[in-house]
Amino acid sequence: MNIKEKKERALGVRLFLKAHRCNSPKCALARKPFAPGIFGKKRKRALSEMGTELREKQKVKFSYSLNEAQLKRIFTAALKSPEATNELMIQLLERRLDNVVFRLGFAESRASARQLVRHGHIIVNGHKVTAPAYMAEIGDVLTFRPESKTLQVFKNAEVSIEKAESLEWLTVNPKEMKGTVKTLPSGIEVPFNMSLLVEYYSK
């Protein structure tokens, strides 16, 4: 069992850090639905208000593979808008290029998707983009760099794209390995309470 699965067990929620494995009987949380360590099965004390908010922050950070500074920047950007901050934060998280690459099925996890982007395998609107934090816009077209199509990462993508969940805001052409941002993401189901995160950062 690796560190990603231990994080999910510690938080008690499936964050899909191991991608499609989380939907299978092999999921660590399904096999061992308790925290790791010798005291994992013992009943834990109820968390304080701050502890609950910190726990939700950890879920978001682990789920989207972000550090504290990156998550705080997203909160700050969402706070400037008249829209509901918690909903806009989810939208901004989903619009990150590494997440879009993951959602399209080009990679089996967000961590793998980030590597694809950083290594220059992803083309957006005909141009190579190596910034995982790039914010996808309506109409953006994502493809693999032609040179990458001979590499193992492309072969892996051909397999994972068949397992990807279909989302209303994205369209994907498996034959051409091309994805398009159709609309801004909305109604995204997430395994955490974003309102608690907003309360944490608002203090």
Nearest Cα to Cα of residue 63 among 26, 24, 89, 37: 89
Confidence of residue 4 (pLDDT cuts 50, 70, 90): low
Q: Which residue has the higher pLDDT, 12 or 76?
A: 76
* Whole-number pLDDT of residue 83: 92
Average pLDDT over residues 22-42: 55
- CA 20, 23, 27, 29 dihedral sign is positive
Tokens representing 54 are 């910190």
Higher-pLDDT residue of 65, 35 = 65
Stretch 8-13: mean pLDDT: 57
* Domain boundaries along the sequence of the chain: 3-93+189-202, 94-181
| Domain covering 94-181 in this structure, CATH number | 3.10.290.10
| pLDDT value for 66 | 94
- Could you report the per-residue pLDDT of 103-147, keeping only the tens digit for each? 999 999 999 999 999 999 999 999 999 999 999 999 999 999 999
pLDDT for residue 137: 98
- The pLDDT of residue 191 is 87
pLDDT at 2: 56
Pairwise pLDDT comparison (143 vs 45), residue with the higher score: 143
pLDDT band at 165 (very low <50, low <70, confident <90, very high): confident
Q: Please provide the CATH number assigned to the domain covering 3-93+189-202.
A: 1.10.1050.10
**Matching residue, tokens 């901004």:** 92
Mean pLDDT value across residues 62-84 = 94
d(CA 198, CA 65): 18
Mean of per-residue pLDDT scores for the chain:
86
Q: What angle do CA 27, 102, 181 make, to 5 degrees?
A: 140
- C-alpha–C-alpha distance, residues 195 and 11, integer Å: 17
55 Cβ neighbours under 8 A, 6+ residues apart: 11, 47
